[in-house]
Amino acid sequence: MKQQYSAIKIREILSVFLFLFVVSTARSQDSTLTVISNQKGAPAQMKMSELVAVFMGEKERWSDGTKITIVLMKTTTPIGKETCKKVYARSGNSVLQYWNLQSFAGKAQLPMMFNSTAELEAFVAQNPGAIGIIDKASSIPETKTVMVDGKKYF
């Protein structure tokens, strides 16, 4: 009887560990994102709703008059996929379709898309009004981190 009881306890303990492993693995799939911008244009802080409005192309200029240029990682990259999920609440293909429709209708210009964060950071640094999303704080002095809901990462 003790062996049967021990086997049941071991299965229960293993089940709990397996559950915790699956939950921690699922959470590790979410990565943090950081909004960076050129020193000229974007404010130092934004609400998430404002950020979404900017990245949906609903706003054309910053408060200082600088034209907004949206810069994204390609939707096939891990950062691009996470951006699509957290900012657009859509798949990568759906985000591309959205932007194609906006562009075709003449409502907005297609965002610039990059394969690497280094390319994205360099573009943002060189273009006033540019705003992009990467997975870390930028080390380029011509860029700044835009706080979203009071946080450097979201």
- pLDDT tens for residues 21-75? 554 444 445 689 999 999 999 999 999 999 999 999 999 999 999 999 999 999 9
Q: With 80 as the cut, is the pLDDT of residue 2 above it?
A: no
Q: What is the pLDDT of residue 44?
A: 97
Is 35 within 8 Å of 146 (Cβ atoms)?
A: yes
pLDDT in tens, 97-128: 999 999 999 998 899 999 999 999 999 999 99
Check pLDDT > 70 for residue 96: yes
pLDDT of residue 79: 97
pLDDT at 15: 61
With bands split at pLDDT 50, 70 and 90, how would you rate the model's confidence at 19?
low
Per-residue CA distances from 102 to 81, 84, 130, 136 (Å): 20, 16, 19, 29
Q: Please, which residues bridge with residue 88 across strands?
A: none
pLDDT of residue 24: 47
Architecture of domain 34-148: 3-Layer(aba) Sandwich (3.40)
pLDDT for the residue numbered 117: 97
d(CA 99, CA 149): 25
Parse the chain into domains and list their residue ranges.
Answer: 1-30, 34-148
Output the pLDDT for position 31: 83
DSSP string, 39-101: SSSS-SEE-HHHHHHHHTT---B-TTSPBPEEEEE-TTSHHHHHHIIIIISS-HHHHHHHHHH
Both tokens assigned to 139 = 């080390």
Distance CA 34, CA 46 (A): 12
Length of the chain: 154
C-alpha to C-alpha distance for 92 and 86, rounded to whole angstroms = 11
7-11, 64-68, 75-79, 80-84: lowest mean pLDDT where? 7-11
pLDDT of residue 26: 44
Q: 6 or 22: whose pLDDT is higher? A: 6
